[in-house]
């Protein structure tokens, strides 16, 4: 049995809305990551964690393994790094930085880097 | 190189060897020696005898057109500094690094013309700080055999002082000769006054083992022997002998000084009873851990530590003041093992308290114990044998449970033997299980380090892991030596390279004074040159800015060295300190940490700096894919016996 045209139209509309929402979410995430990278740079996170968050003077933070709450706790309440309070780094900005470090792609696998997989 | 004019006549050294050698010379000039018996005197004394009339005539004919009185006024027959060269040659100092100064012009001339500028050969440095740090790097590679440094009065020693502090903290020997003019009535106006001092060595006395200001050539001879002996006896360190300008330049006249020679001192060793107790604790321990810092003088030290560690199957934490233990050995472990240790054996530790505790960098600096509260500590080392008050290079006090004074490398064989004797069959049987455990842990660490290196692999600026591993591909099959410290590059060499020879890692600066890295690398490369080794220097930008002139020294004296800059365009450690302060005060750190810390705007072009000093160079390299071809080109230059530098823009660490 064929669906009624109005039903099909409603379904297509719903699908379109969902797609838009997803695209919107994706765009929001991309924007947050982009803004987060700028904040990562401006707030000098890279001094200890490297430009790619790969670690250096401090631990690797990208791609992050933590949920945001854990990430935020490490930034705000920590024995290792300086405590960044909301007065200098708001929750919103911290979230954007988190989106950035979460967006950093995985590096090549070990076996794809001859300098590391050989001797 | 200036060479001695041998046609000028019979010089002092030739005269000595040709006229009356050994016993006869000693007997002539030292009646006491003559009474001791001919063989002893001949072996210990190389005397200086007055020239015969014939020799005098040959050597010191009054030049044509001069009266005898004029000749005496204008010319010197036997300057005191010629004898100083004899003394220096007797000590077998192969090189003397120097920045020229009028307060030692007499000795300078004697080294070049009388001594033939060979053993010692003068090496020109554009700054005394470089001259000292070169000597520092050389001695660390040469197994504690020092070279000399010749510095100008007052201002020269002031320039030298920071680098001497590094050597002091790092327990590295060197013989520093400082110019001065003692007699006020002999000083010309101006510089000879302002560069003289009542007590010339005072400026560096807090961080030298010994100094003297001899007033006669015999005094000089004995002081030099004493200085050398003190400098090279553990705990080693820099010594200073002040050389009077008048003593250098004046006619020796009737002086007939002798050279006493140096009888090496056997290094101090730990006492037998204490070692027996230490062995008992180590054998009985469930989790013994060995921590080692400023211990190995040479490969023997490394081998001895392997023997002890394997006898106990105890992990070794190498704090890398020296290369003490192969990083590829399965017992080489990270510092985390200290937390589980019930007995900790510290070998030449710089900071015992800091090994066991931490003081957190917070508003209120609270202490936290890292080690187990019941962990017992055995300290073996020489740090208590020589210590000074002012500069706090000795770190916080810790009451070790068993503290044994003695050079650890010298003490290890006795301790290892004691451990073997005390080890029961049951205890020995447990070694197999311990070995498997540490092999697994070592393999896990290796895997983690390799995995960590891939993060940021393709990044620009270049990751320090990438830099080290690109280098490794080119040097791993050669006889190489890293003449820089990788501590501020995430320790990638010690994590990923194979370091199993003592000379392959030079350790740290000692006093953490910047301006050490580049010149110590050149000094170390000089020592490696004699062995045909490839010397590699991963050079920090901030450090090089203190002493860029050392590049010229390397080029001028043809010292092969591959330098690769870790150029992060700033004083990175200080960036982090400023960030910490700003965060603590809740003032934000948007860009403010650059102020006072960055070495940018304009960016420093180290390739051009090096080229300007006569060093082959390339860079700046920003794309990691460009790195290896540049390194290959640089290695071609180094293989021709010259220095080369590749400037690489890098991640902070």
Contacts of B450 in chain A (CB under 8 A): 110, 116-117
> How does DSSP assign B457-471, residue by residue?
TT-SSBPHHHHHHHH
CB of B176 within 8 A of CB of B164? yes
Helix (H, G, I), strand (E, B) or coil at A61: coil
> Which residues of chain A lie closer than 8 angstroms to B653, CB-CB?
50, 56-57
Burial of B363 (0-12, 13-18, 19+ CB in 10 A): exposed
Contact state of A115 with B472 under an 8 Å Cβ cutoff: yes
Contact B580 A82 (CB under 8 A): yes
CA distance B256 to B50: 7
Q: Please state the separation of Cα B528 from the chain's center in Å.
A: 13
Whether the CB-CB separation of B462 and B628 falls below 8 Å is answered with no
| Interface residues on A facing B, Cβ-Cβ cutoff 8 A | 42-44, 46-48, 50-57, 60, 62, 79, 82-85, 87-89, 107-110, 113, 115-117, 119
Q: Following DSSP, what letter does each residue of B90-142 receive, concatenated?
A: HTT--EEEE---GGGHHHHHIIIIISTT-SSEEEE-SSHHHHHHHHHHHHHHT
State whether A50 and B586 contact (CB < 8 Å): no
With contacts defined as CB-CB under 8 Å, which chain A residues touch B454? 107-110, 113, 116
- The span from the first CA to the last CA of chain B, in angstroms, equals 42
Chain A residue at shortest CA distance from B368: A79
Using an 8 Å CB-CB cutoff, list chain A residues near B584. 82-83
Tell which of A40, A45, A47, A74 to mutate to test the B interface (max B CBs under 10 Å).
A47
Q: Do B586 and A87 touch (CB under 8 A)?
A: yes
Contacts of B6 (CB under 8 A, 6+ apart): none
The structural domains of chain B, ordered by start, are 10-75 (no CATH), 78-265 (3.40.50.970), 272-437 (3.40.50.1220), 454-569+604-649 (3.40.50.970)
State pLDDT tens for residues B253-285: 888 999 999 998 999 999 999 999 999 999 999
For residue B448, list chain A residues with Cβ-Cβ distance below 8 A: none
CA distance A102 to chain B (A): 14
pLDDT under 70 in chain B at which residues? 1-61
pLDDT band at A22 (very low <50, low <70, confident <90, very high): low
Q: Where are the domains of chain A?
A: 32-106
Contact A88 B583 (CB under 8 A): yes
Q: What's the confidence (pLDDT) of residue B305?
A: 98
Answer for the pair B322, B296: CB distance below 8 angstroms, yes or no: yes
Residue entry with tokens 């990438």: B466
CA angle, corner A29, sides to A25 and A30, nearest 5?
115
Sheet architecture: strand order including B148-151: B121-124, B95-98, B148-151, B174-180, B238-244, B210-212
Distance between B584 CA and the closest CA of chain A, angstroms? 7
**ipTM for the whole complex:** 0.81
Beta-bridge partner residues of B96: B122, B148
Query: Per-residue confidence at A119, pLDDT binned at 50, 70, 90?
Result: low
Residue B565: closest CA among B455, B462, B456, B637: B462
Q: Which of B456, B459, B579 sits opposite A47 (nearest CB)?
A: B579
Q: pLDDT by residue (tens digit) across B230-248?
A: 999 999 999 999 999 999 9
Distance (Å) from the C-alpha of residue A80 to the closest C-alpha of chain B? 8
CATH homologous superfamily for A32-106?
Answer: Cytochrome c-like domain (1.10.760.10)
Task: Find the CB nearest B470 among A43, A53, A115.
Answer: A115
Could you tell me the CA-to-CA distances from B278 to B275, B422, B504 in Å, in that order?
A: 5, 11, 31
On chain A, the residues whose CB falls within 8 A of the CB of B583 are 82-85, 88
Question: What integer pLDDT is reported at residue B9 of this predicted model?
Answer: 35
Residue B402 DSSP one-character state: E
Evaluate whether B412 touches B387 at the Cβ level (below 8 Å): no
Contacts of B459 in chain A (CB under 8 A): 50-52, 54
Judged by CB atoms closer than 8 Å, whether chains meet at B653 and A88 is answered as: no
Beta-carbon separation of B458 and A107 below 8 A: yes
Chain A residues in contact with B458 by the CB 8 A cut-off are: 107-108
Chain A CB contacts of B591 under 8 Å are 42, 44
b/e B545-578 (16+ beta carbons within 10 angstroms → b): bbbbbbbbbbbebebbbbbbbbbbbbbbbebbeb
Of B466, B586, B652, Cβ closest to residue A88? B586
B506 contacts B485 by C-beta, under 8 angstroms: yes
The per-residue pLDDT of chain B, averaged, comes to 91
Cα–Cα separations (whole angstroms), residue B60 to B69, B71, B252, B416: 13, 9, 14, 63
CA-based nearest residue to B458, from A53, A33, A108? A108
Choose from A80, A114, A115, A119 for mutation: most chain B CBs within 10 A: A115
Task: Name, in order, each residue with C-beta under 8 angstroms of B361's C-beta and a sequence gap of 6 or more.
Answer: B580
- Inspect the interface and report whether the beta carbons of B458 and A108 lie closer than 8 Å: yes
Place of tokens 């992990």: B315
Residues in B closer than 8 angstroms to A94, CB to CB, are none
For residue B36, what pLDDT is reported?
39
The model's confidence at residue A32, banded by pLDDT at 50, 70 and 90, is confident
Chain B residues whose C-beta sits inside 8 Å of any chain A C-beta: 360, 362, 450-459, 461, 463-464, 466, 469-470, 472-473, 476, 490, 572, 575-576, 579-580, 582-584, 586-591, 593, 651-653
Say whether pLDDT at A4 is over 90. Answer: no
Count of CA atoms in the C-beta half-sphere (13 A) of B152: 18
């Amino acid at each position: 049995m064929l669906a009624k045209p109005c039903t099909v139209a409603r379904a297509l509309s719903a699908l379109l809305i969902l797609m838009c929402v997803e695209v919107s979410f994706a765009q929001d995430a991309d924007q947050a990551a982009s803004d987060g990278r700028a904040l990562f740079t401006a707030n000098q996170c890279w001094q200890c964690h490297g430009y790619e968050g790969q670690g250096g003077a401090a631990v690797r933070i990208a791609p992050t393994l933590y949920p945001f709450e854990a990430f935020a706790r490490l930034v705000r309440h920590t024995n290792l790094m300086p405590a960044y309070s909301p007065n200098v780094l708001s929750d919103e900005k911290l979230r954007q930085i988190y989106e950035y470090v979460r967006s950093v792609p995985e590096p090549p696998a070990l076996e794809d880097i001859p300098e590391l997989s050989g001797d | 190189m200036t060479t001695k004019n041998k046609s000028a006549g019979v010089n002092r050294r030739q005269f000595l060897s040709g006229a009356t050698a050994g016993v006869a010379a000693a007997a002539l000039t030292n009646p006491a020696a003559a009474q001791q018996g001919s063989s002893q005197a001949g072996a210990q004394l190389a005397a200086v005898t007055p020239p015969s009339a014939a020799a005098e005539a040959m050597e010191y004919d009054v030049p044509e057109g001069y009266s005898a009185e004029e000749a005496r006024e204008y010319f010197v027959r036997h300057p005191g500094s010629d004898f100083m060269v004899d003394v220096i040659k007797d000590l077998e100092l192969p090189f003397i690094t120097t920045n020229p100064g009028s307060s030692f012009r007499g000795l300078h001339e004697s080294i070049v013309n009388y001594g033939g500028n060979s053993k010692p050969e003068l090496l020109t440095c554009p700054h005394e700080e470089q001259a000292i740090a070169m000597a520092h790097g050389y001695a660390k590679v040469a197994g504690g055999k020092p070279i000399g440094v010749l510095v100008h009065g007052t201002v020269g020693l002031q320039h030298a002082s920071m680098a001497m502090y590094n050597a002091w903290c790092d327990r590295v020997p060197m013989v520093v000769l400082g110019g001065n003019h003692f007699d006020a009535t002999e000083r010309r106006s101006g510089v000879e006054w302002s560069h003289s001092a009542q007590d010339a060595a005072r400026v560096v006395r807090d961080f030298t083992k010994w100094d003297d200001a001899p007033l006669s050539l015999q005094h000089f001879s004995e002081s030099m022997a004493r200085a050398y002996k003190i400098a090279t006896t553990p705990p080693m360190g820099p010594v200073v002998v002040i050389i009077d300008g008048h003593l250098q330049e004046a006619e020796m006249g009737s002086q007939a000084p002798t050279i006493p020679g140096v009888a090496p001192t056997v290094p101090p060793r730990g006492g037998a009873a204490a070692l027996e107790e230490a062995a008992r604790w180590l054998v009985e321990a469930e989790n013994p851990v060995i921590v080692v810092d400023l211990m190995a003088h040479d490969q023997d030290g490394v081998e001895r530590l392997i023997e002890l560690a394997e006898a106990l199957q105890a992990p070794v934490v190498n704090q890398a003041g020296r290369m003490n233990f192969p990083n590829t050995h399965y017992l080489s472990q990270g510092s985390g093992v200290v937390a589980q240790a019930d007995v900790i054996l510290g070998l030449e530790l710089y900071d015992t308290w800091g090994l066991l505790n931490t003081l957190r960098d917070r508003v209120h600096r609270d202490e936290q114990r890292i080690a187990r509260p019941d962990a017992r500590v055995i300290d073996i080392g020489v740090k208590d044998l020589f210590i000074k008050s002012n500069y706090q290079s000795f770190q916080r006090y810790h009451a070790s449970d068993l503290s044994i004074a003695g050079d650890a490398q010298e003490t290890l064989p006795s301790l290892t033997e004691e451990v073997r004797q005390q080890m029961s069959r049951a205890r020995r049987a447990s070694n197999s299980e311990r070995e498997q455990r540490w092999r697994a842990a070592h393999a896990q660490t290796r895997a983690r380090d390799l995995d960590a290196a891939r993060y940021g692999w393709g990044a620009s600026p270049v990751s320090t892991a990438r830099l080290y591993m690109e280098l490794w591909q080119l040097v791993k099959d050669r006889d190489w030596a890293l003449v820089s410290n990788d501590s501020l590059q995430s320790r990638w060499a010690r994590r990923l390279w194979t370091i199993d020879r003592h000379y392959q890692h030079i350790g740290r600066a000692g006093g953490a004074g910047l301006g050490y890295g580049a010149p110590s690398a050149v000094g170390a490369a000089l020592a490696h040159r004699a062995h045909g080794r490839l010397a590699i220097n991963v050079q920090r930008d901030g450090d090089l800015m203190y002493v860029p002139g050392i590049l010229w020294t390397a080029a001028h004296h043809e010292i092969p060295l591959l330098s690769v800059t870790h150029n992060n365009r700033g004083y990175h450690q200080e960036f982090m300190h400023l960030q910490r302060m700003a965060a603590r005060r809740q003032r934000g750190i948007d860009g403010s940490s650059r102020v006072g810390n960055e070495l940018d705007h304009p960016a420093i072009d180290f390739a051009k700096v090096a080229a300007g000093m006569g060093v082959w160079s390339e860079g700046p390299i920003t794309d990691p894919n460009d790195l290896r071809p540049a390194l290959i080109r640089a290695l071609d230059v180094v293989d021709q016996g010259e220095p080369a530098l590749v400037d690489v823009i890098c991640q902070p660490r």
